[in-house]
Amino acid sequence: MLLISMTTQEMRTYQCEACGYKFKATRLHKICPYCGKEGTVKPVKDAETILKEVDQENQGGYQQ
């Protein structure tokens, strides 16, 4: 029996900045699947990323 290894893409959480709709997907969408607005979907940051950004800000090393 031959087993085929499938690569699984990681599901991330995204949120529309226009309507607030949150959803999980394997890639960033250009258009919100709920309200249909373009360019408003952004990845939701996890707690670890937020803590790293705060730490960098406190050390004066955060650059945007």
Tens of pLDDT, residues 14-58: 999 999 999 999 999 999 999 999 999 999 998 888 898 899 888
- The overall pTM is greater than 0.75: no
Closest CA to 40 of 55, 50, 25, 30: 30
In the chain, where the domains are located: 12-58
**CA count, 13 A, side-chain hemisphere, 46:** 4
Beta strands in the chain (DSSP E): 12-16, 22-25, 41-43
Query: Could you tell me which residues come within 8 angstroms of residue 14 by beta carbon, excluding any fewer than 6 positions away?
Result: 22, 23, 24, 25, 28, 29, 41, 42, 43, 44
Closest CA to 15 of 47, 38, 39, 41: 41
For the domain spanning 12-58, the CATH number is 2.20.28
